[in-house]
Structure 1
């Protein structure tokens, strides 16, 4: 069973609300678009041309929000068979080490995500092989569009800003791709948050889920009832 750690800082509470609200909205939108497409296809022999692409983007956003949220609620699975052999002080040191490794990993992911997304937004990627040392000029790819999703009329104001005044026919890619650096930043924030909890002694590790053990216990309980 996962443990839910409440955030006491304003930033933590804001991120909590953002993640939970976004996950609920994304699930709702995916369900709505899929339902409408099914009704149109089987009831009227037509459909939303952009429905599949929109659902794919919504699912990608859901996954990236879910990764960071799962860190917060310690729902990621892990193997602790070796760690369980050590005493509590050693486990804490190992947990802190794991937290630092995860922070470094998330920082690398964030750099890669920014470097991939930035050209689509007309921004510069970072320089440096592993960690950013500055910004390097990159080719402006803000004119790139998605395949099927049309641009909503209320977004036309971005054309003079992002596309030198030329009209977009489809949604510019930098909008759905923005979840890449944003999701990576959320993941980094959650790993920092979790590591601080371990350092303060309010958590014992990054992972407290033991679904395999719970499943075995359930089976044993069922066998006893039989």
Structure 2
């Protein structure tokens, strides 16, 4: 079980890196192509002896840039996948912000009880959205509608939207793990990020440097 957990956690991190890299690469290539052809046209004007060569290269680069009308749609799709896939990763690494100033004033047993209640609310929210979004994806699957600017590549709307029910299902699993850890006294609350504590740590580090 621990081996499977490590494999999944490495896959999570690798997939997030892949999405970020793909978004960056597509945007980078599109921006470069949209600014590169003017360079060749300028060179053609400067060196008239080789104007035909530079104009030809500029035309090819401009055609390549104009053919990448799909880049914006693909970037938005990748960003959507990054958001919904990253939801469960944020729960795992305590990346979501928690507001627990009043909770921390209570006893440990009360904190555990409040943690269980909060966890049940999160489980209900994630489960409800996962089921509802699955029904939405099923409707898109039946309709078989092509994605905007990506349909000619065979990418359908349900392909892009599939990450929504999957993402919330993964969030449900993460909170189910937290619920079990609270019940077994291995955790007190949801284990979310504490910005105030982080700010104090940074302040202490700055003081130590001085």
| Matching residue of 1:172 | 156
Cα shift at 1:195:
1.0
Measure the CA separation in 1 of the matches of 2:190 and 2:208: 33
1:218 alignment partner, one of 202, 206, 209: 202
The alignment's TM-score, normalised by the length of structure 1, stands at 0.73
More strand by share: 1
Question: Is residue 25 from structure 1 mapped to residue 18 from structure 2 by the alignment?
Answer: yes
| Matching residue of 1:83 | 103
The RMSD of aligned alpha carbons is 2.1
| Matching residue of 2:149 | 148
Cα shift at 1:211:
2.1
Equivalent residue of 1:109, what SS? helix
Cα shift at 1:75:
1.7
Runs of 4+ aligned residues of structure 1 deviating over 4 Å after TM superposition are 223-226
| Matching residue of 2:57 | none
| Matching residue of 1:112 | 132
Spell out, residue by residue over 1:47-73, the C-alpha distance to the aligned partner (whole angstroms, 9 max, x if none): 410001100010010011111111111
Return the index of the structure with the highest Cα Rg: 2
More helix by share: 2
8 Å contact kept, 1:75–1:207: no
1:57 alignment partner, one of 77, 80, 83: 77
Cα shift at 1:89:
1.1
Residues 175 and 77 of structure 1: CA distance in aligned 2, closer, same or farther (over 3 Å):
same
Equivalent residue of 1:106, what SS? helix
Measure the CA separation in 2 of the matches of 1:222 and 1:17: 33
8 Å contact kept, 2:150–2:156: no
| Matching residue of 1:67 | 87
Question: Is residue 8 from structure 1 mapped to residue 2 from structure 2 by the alignment?
Answer: yes
8 Å contact kept, 2:91–2:192: no
Measure the CA separation in 2 of the matches of 1:217 and 1:20: 26
Equivalent residue of 1:42, what SS? helix
Equivalent residue of 1:35, what SS? helix
Report how many residues are paired: 183
| Matching residue of 2:115 | 95
Equivalent residue of 1:147, what SS? coil
8 Å contact kept, 1:77–1:207: no
Instruction: Note the residue ranges of structure 2 that are not aligned, 5 or more in a row.
Output: 38-61
Measure the CA separation in 1 of the matches of 2:9 and 2:139: 30
8 Å contact kept, 2:16–2:86: yes
Cα shift at 1:171:
2.1
